[in-house]
Amino acid sequence: MHAVLAQQSVDASVGDGVYEGREGDLQRYEARTTGLAHGKQALIKNVGDQFCRRVAACYVCLKGICISAKIDRVTESNKRAGIMGDVKAEEEPSGSLLGFPSLHHLLAAHLPPAALKEASRLLRGYNGGDLVPALQLPECIISMSKDFKFDVQGYSFKARREEMRSPRVVRTAVIQNKIVLPTTEPFLDQKRAIMNRVECMIDAAAKASVNILCLQEAWTMPFAFCTREKTWCEFAESAEQGKSTMFLQALAKKHNMVIVSPILERDKSHGDILWNTAVVIGNNGHIIGKHRKNHIPRVGDFNESTYYMEGNTGNPVFETAYGKIAVNICYGRHHPLNWLAFGLNGAEIVFNPSATVGDLSEPMWPIEARNAAIANSYYVGAINRVGTEVFPRAFTSGDGKEAHTDFGHFYGSSYFASPDASCTPCLSRFQDGLMIADMDLNLCQQVKDKWGFPMTARYEKYAHLLKAYIREDFKPQVIKDPLLP
């Protein structure tokens, strides 16, 4: 297979690592491909499956072959796979996937059409019999994304046309972003810079007529909880009167847009306690409500419990002008019953604003939100911040690692998933991004009717088990093989 891929590479770009025949760049290109060759063995060592061996072999074949590569072939591959976004990255982008912004771009560059179609079918599923189609976004948004250097993609989930109900199409969006200034800059300057950056992408979403938009976890600040330093508490603010809330209230009203704002909340009514909170702002600029993070991690550098504890708001669903939404903040995605609770309360769209790094969670990332959408018959918007945030002082987390100054690379890769098991490609692993999706909310009920998950569930059995489990005298229901000693 890798011979086929290598042959394809004669005429095809390698995406973000493309070399377009500029003689002055040949030396740098040779150095890069040599590095890729050295990286082959590490890739095979870490990933034993045959597919990745072939991809690695293909990369070695690129040396000396792709000198005359053309971007057109990759662009056509992306179109065949229904992938939006620029395939050509900045030179040597930190956090890229072998030079590509996403796995989908890597596959589109190297798989023959038939293989790419089958791989995409399994990785992304079919919506209405085909891959989720790309949206035709206004040219002004494409221009903005190039001018302000952010990835922009748009897709459209379909539902079956019904006789008794009109379509309920809502346009949603998620934003992933890096911090703008170094963490050594004054806190107020850091916050203002992030707000200015995010405002640009919200304006782009508004030009696309987005109805509901969600930002990433703790979007107003670096994800500094890894450091355990309490000076970062200064970023906390009131959910109701804080500067970021008032800032987004004005934008929500201006654009007739529901905006979900995950922040570090300071609750002045209860002893200045901190919470990890999502504020839901209505399309008229009013506050609909808020939800506090239910599950707090205690693994690796996720030292969040140094700052705040588990939330006390339950699993609320917010009925907005455009649909019923909920917010499952970050670590809650690892808890199936947390997802279930939002579904039982009637959610049609659940956003999962997160901050997570590659070494720990990336293999789970494309699975969890998609699985939640399937199991609970609602749409999910999975959002992860992007970039590597370096802090002034080294820190440790009691896990045996050497002291370090960064958490790791936040790999972005935000995407949408549908109740029918289909999903969009991901945003970039290293670039700010705006993902837009049209969703016909009628699909939620249609999938429930087709698969019957709520009807066939045994909630009374689960309730009985859980009620027994939380008692001190609980005994697991285990039937032992009588032949065992």
pLDDT in tens, 307-355: 999 999 999 999 999 999 999 999 999 999 999 999 999 999 999 999 9
Decide if pLDDT at 69 tops 50: no
Rounded-to-integer distance, Cα 192 and Cα 26, Å: 41
Percent share of the chain, pLDDT over 70: 81
| Separation of first and last alpha carbons in the chain | 51
Pair 145, 434: CB distance under 8 Å:
yes
Instruction: Report d(CA 276, CA 273) in Å as an integer.
Output: 10
One-letter amino acid of 15 = G
- pLDDT over 60 at 58, yes or no: no
Q: Considering its fold, how many domains does the chain have in total? A: 2
- Give just the sign of the alpha carbon dihedral 239, 244, 247, 252: negative
d(CA 75, CA 348): 34
Summarised one tens digit per residue, pLDDT across range 212-223 is 999 999 999 999
Number of C-beta neighbours around residue 276 at 10 A: 27
Q: State whether 101 and 239 are in the same domain.
A: no
| Cβ-proximal residues to 344 (8 Å cutoff; 6+ apart), any chain | 315
Which residues are part of the catalytic machinery?
Answer: 217, 293, 330
Nearest alpha carbon to residue 140 among 84, 82, 203? 203
pTM attached to this predicted model: 0.83
Please give the single-letter amino acid code of residue 407: F
Residues 151 and 114 in one domain: no
Tell me, yes or no, whether 474 lies in a domain: no
Q: Which two tokens stand for residue 114?
A: 């038939």
Instruction: Name which residue leads in pLDDT, 81 or 41.
Output: 81
Q: Are 156 and 438 in contact (CB under 8 A)?
A: yes
Burial string for 418-448 (b: 16+ CB within 10 Å, else e) reads: bbbbbbbbbbbbbbbbbbbbbbbbbbbbbbb
Domain that holds residue 293: 128-451
Residue 482 located in a structural domain: no
Q: Is residue 289 located within the same domain as residue 371? A: yes
Q: What is the pLDDT of residues 282-300, one digit of tens each?
A: 999 999 999 999 999 999 9
- d(CA 342, CA 325) in angstroms, rounded, equals 9
Which residues partner with 349 through β-bridges?
A: 325, 379
Identify residue 403 by its one-letter amino acid code. A
Band (pLDDT 50/70/90 cuts) for residue 93 is confident
The reply to whether 19 falls in a domain is: yes
Q: Given the DSSP bridges, would you call strands 273-281 and 258-267 parallel, antiparallel or unpaired? A: antiparallel
Residues 13-23: pLDDT tens digits?
333 333 233 33
Instruction: Please tell me the distance from the alpha carbon of residue 244 to that of residue 308, in angstroms, as a whole number.
Output: 19
For residues 327 and 263, the answer to whether their CB atoms sit within 8 Å is no
Query: 176, 237, 190, 230: which is closest to 428 by C-alpha?
Result: 176
pLDDT for residue 8? 35
In a domain, 460, yes or no: no
Looking at the fold, whether 165 and 55 belong to one and the same domain comes out as no
CA distance 152 to 85: 6
Q: Is the pLDDT of residue 56 over 60?
A: no
What's the residue count for the chain? Answer: 485
* Whole-number Cα distances in Å, 116 to 107, 108, 343: 7, 6, 34
SS3 content of the chain, % helix, strand, coil (to 5): 40, 20, 40
- One domain for residues 137 and 96: no
- What mean pLDDT is predicted for residues 172-188? 98
As a whole number of angstroms, the distance between CA 385 and CA 387 comes to 7
Residue 405 lies in a domain: yes
Same domain, 105 and 224: no
Same-domain status, 103 and 182: no
Question: Is 178 found in the same domain as 151?
Answer: yes
Supply the angle between the helices 139-147 and 187-207 in degrees, to the nearest 10.
160
CATH number of domain containing 386: 3.60.110.10
pLDDT of residue 359: 77
The tokens 């959408």 sit on which residue? 373
Q: Mean pLDDT score of the chain, rounded to an integer?
A: 87
Which DSSP letter does residue 400 get?
S
How much is the average pLDDT of 3-8? 35
pLDDT one-digit tens code per residue, 80-91: 556 776 554 445
319 and 174 in one domain?
Answer: yes
Q: How far is CA 472 from the centre of its chain?
A: 39
The pLDDT-based confidence of 235 (bands split at 50, 70, 90) is very high
User: Of 78, 107, 123, which one is at a domain's C-terminal end?
Assistant: 123
- pLDDT grade for 95, boundaries at 50, 70 and 90: confident
Answer yes or no: is pLDDT of 242 > 70.
Answer: yes
Instruction: Locate 405 and state its tokens.
Output: 């100054």
Q: How far apart are CA 208 and CA 183, in angstroms?
A: 33
Q: What is the pLDDT of residue 379?
A: 99
Mean pLDDT of 447-456: 97
Whether residue 478 is contained in a domain is answered as: no
Q: What is the DSSP string of 11-59?
A: HB--GGG-----GGGHHHHHHHHHHHHHHHHHHHHH--SHHHHHHHHHH
**Sign of the dihedral defined by the CA atoms of residues 449, 333, 350, 327, in that order:** positive
| 359, 374: one domain | yes
Among 123, 144, 159, the domain-final residue is 123
480 inside domain: no
**Res. 57: pLDDT tops 80:** no
Given 74, 102, 123, which residue is the final one in a domain? Answer: 123
Q: Which amino acid appears at position 448 of this protein?
A: K
Residue type at 191 in one-letter notation: K
406-431 residue pLDDT tens: 999 999 999 999 999 999 999 999 99
When computed from its CA atoms, the radius of gyration of the chain, rounded to whole angstroms, is 23
Using CA atoms of 380, 385, 386, 387 in order, give the dihedral in degrees to the nearest 10.
Answer: -160
CB count within 10 Å of CB 207 equals 14
Residue type, 90: E
| Same domain? 185 vs 236 | yes
Please state the separation of Cα 246 from the chain's center in Å. Answer: 26
Residue 95 shares a structural domain with residue 141: no
Query: Around Cβ 339, how many Cβ atoms within 10 Å?
Result: 27
pLDDT score for 60 = 35
Say if CB 170 and CB 211 are below 8 A apart: yes
pLDDT digits (tens, 9 = 90+) for 128-169: 999 999 999 999 999 999 999 999 999 999 999 999 999 999
Give the residue, 27 or 227, on which the prediction is more confident: 227
